[in-house]
């Protein structure tokens, strides 16, 4: 697969809280770093996303009396899974994993900073309409094909890929450079959505083929 100047590597949420020992650790979360660093030199353009929640964020179980992590509640935009507090603004858990050394990244996009709405996707908040500004940035930069890696495969990576397709952008999820939470069948669910939307699932080795 040939990478060109219109391609962008979108590295999703490789932060301490999503890695082993973190507040919302994805199993094997730090294992995505080696394949990401291996493929990064192939890309002229890299964008990082960073979960960036206020301490009272509505997606935190602690913000809802009697609720515990991984319960679901109905909010104004629909069903919301409740999470342990994580990636709180300015905390060590919100920082990028120290091994993720990508100084060449051209943009760090923070998401999830609005207290009353969660943001899985790099493109839209969970209401599916409030934009993050990433689509406009990519359009102005002439970046039109998206390669995704990071955490978690079945949430923030997956939703970002689906929204890329919704915006008419080819999207390739690099499966071996992602790790999943797999909460209540979420991997099977996101892969079914990939099939419907035309998201391609590839391997980092395909970039060198």
> Which residues form the catalytic set?
13, 111, 156
C-beta of residue 179 within 8 angstroms of C-beta of residue 151 = yes
User: Which residues, in sequence order, are CB contacts of 150 under 8 Å at separation 6+?
Assistant: 10, 11, 12, 13, 14, 32, 36, 49, 156, 157, 177, 178
Measure the CA–CA gap between 112 and 71, rounded to whole angstroms: 19
Six-digit token string for 68: 């515990």
Rounded to an integer, what distance in angstroms lies between the CA atom of residue 151 and that of residue 18?
7
E strands, 82-185, in order: 107-111, 145-151, 171-179
Run of H or E residues at 35: helix 33-39
Give the Cα separation of 107 and 68 in Å (integer): 34
């Amino acid at each position: 697969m040939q990478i060109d100047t219109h391609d962008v590597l979108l590295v999703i949420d490789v932060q301490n809280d999503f890695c082993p020992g973190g507040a919302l650790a994805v199993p094997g979360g730090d294992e995505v770093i080696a394949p990401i660093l291996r493929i990064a030199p192939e890309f002229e353009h890299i964008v990082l996303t960073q979960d960036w929640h206020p301490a009272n964020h509505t997606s935190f179980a602690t913000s809802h009396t009697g609720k515990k992590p991984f319960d679901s509640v109905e909010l104004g935009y629909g069903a919301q899974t409740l999470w342990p507090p994580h990636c709180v603004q300015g905390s060590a858990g919100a920082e990028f994993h120290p091994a993720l050394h990508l100084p060449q990244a051209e943009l760090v996009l923070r998401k999830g900073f609005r207290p009353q709405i969660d943001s899985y996707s790099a493109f839209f908040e969970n209401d599916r309409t409030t934009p993050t500004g990433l689509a406009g940035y990519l359009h102005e930069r002439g970046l039109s094909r998206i390669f995704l890696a990071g955490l978690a495969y079945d949430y923030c990576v997956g939703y970002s890929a689906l929204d890329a397709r919704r915006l008419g952008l080819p999207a390739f999820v690099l499966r071996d450079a992602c790790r999943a939470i797999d909460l209540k069948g979420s991997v099977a669910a996101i892969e079914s959505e990939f099939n419907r939307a035309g998201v391609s699932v590839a391997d980092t080795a395909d970039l060198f083929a």
